[in-house]
Amino acid sequence: MAEFIMELNDEQKEVRDWIHGFAADVMRPAAAEWDEREETPWPVIQEAAKIGIYSLDFYAQQYFDPTGLGIPMAMEELFWGDAGIALSIVGTGLAAVGVLANGTEEQIGTWVPQMYGDADDVKVAAFCSSEPDAGSDVASMRTRAVYDEAKDEWVINGTKTWATNGGIANVHVVVASVDAELGSKGHASFIVPPNTPGLSQGQKFQKHGIRASHTAEVVLEDVRIPGNCLLGGKEKLDERLARARERAKAGGGERVKNAAMATFEASRPAVGAMAVGTARAAYEEALEYARTREQFGRPIIDNQGVAFQLADMRTSIDAARLLVWRASWMAVNGRPFTAAEGSQSKLFASETAKKVTAQAIQILGGNGFTREYPVERMHRDAAIYTIFEGTSEIQRLVIARTLSGMPIR
């Protein structure tokens, strides 16, 4: 087990500086344009692919870092560059992780490369789980997958929402219910190959922030996919469903639900790291402005009201990063989240990002309220962190119920 440390090693620092250079030189100059266009920044994704940042290999290397700090370090630097473009770059990883976690070796080898394409022809993938009536309440999922044994095909019907890259993806990973009575344990994940009839893009959302990231509904109408597109295979699914039914009969349903929630708990520190990156970017802009902006014959940082705000901003950012790093280390090293440490990190970091970006606007005054300065965009982007991957209210619920021993539904 790797020791928990609070400093990156030389190799990690080298990777961090490499990502930071890409964020500073490629992402930031393009950020305002793609925010205004509200379109996927394909040229930037292609540049990321050329140097190896947009690839499965890169994320695998960070994920398997035994210290647990690879992913949060990478997320912080990319989202320091720009949250919307960064989400376009990392969004495919959500679908790739879904295949890596549940798929067979053959499925991984077949579909993951098609998610990324190559530097000359980049592709994206979409992970489709949330629904109009089933966001935090995953057990209420209505999308259904029915097995047609005669044709060895699955037939999927339903509507997914809030899908990053939804409708424009080369490969969609869709979570659907195969046994509604089992709630979340009756779900399975499916690959929908490119150009499959019946899958279409629904509403594309015009968002408050992260506008360079494509977010849309995905509509599935009698979508037929080969039997081998069920991640993990039919035999494994049947065995899992049989165990779930037996446990439900024995009264183990709540324990099953808690195990499902634990999976979300382990992924939340990465979102916390994204929030830390955005908060840090806004803080640095505000600090530089306060050092150079003069009023009444002196820099405004000499005013206690401004200086104390900056002190609070930096303290909150450092505290958020430490919570994220702790949870990331615990997840990689198999330490149980006995106090919902994953939710703690996501809650504090996301709330910090909203507060710090608002403070940055205040320090810049009227300039901060204009699009001439990036803190306005950062403030809009920060709003998403308290919403996706579980709202702040859900995080508090998970933490409270974990501490009290109450079941997490």
Can you list the pairs that 400-405 forms with residues at least 24 positions away whose Cβ atoms lie under 8 Å? 402/337, 402/338, 402/339, 402/340, 402/343, 403/339, 403/340
295, β-bridge pairs = 298
CB count within 10 Å of CB 221 equals: 12
Q: Are 191 and 107 in contact (CB under 8 A)?
A: yes
Q: What is the DSSP string of 110-122?
A: HHHHHHHEETTEE
Please say whether the beta carbons of 277 and 378 come within 8 A: no
288 is catalytic: no
Alpha-carbon distance of 319 to 98, in angstroms, equals: 30
If you write DSSP's letter for every residue of 21-55 in order, what string do you get? HHIIIIIHHHHHHHHHHTS--HHHHHHHHHHTSSS
E-strand ranges in 129-214 read: 144-148, 153-164, 171-177, 187-192, 199-204
Are 46 and 40 in contact by the 8 Å Cβ rule? The answer is no
The C-alpha atoms of residue 58 and residue 90 are separated, in whole angstroms, by: 11
Contact indicator for 115, 90 with CB cutoff of 8 Å = no
Catalytic residue among 76, 131, 341, 389: 389
DSSP H or E segment with residue 316: helix 304-332
The encoded tokens of residue 363 equal 């320090």
Cα separation, 277 vs 364, whole angstroms: 19
Catalytic residues: 389
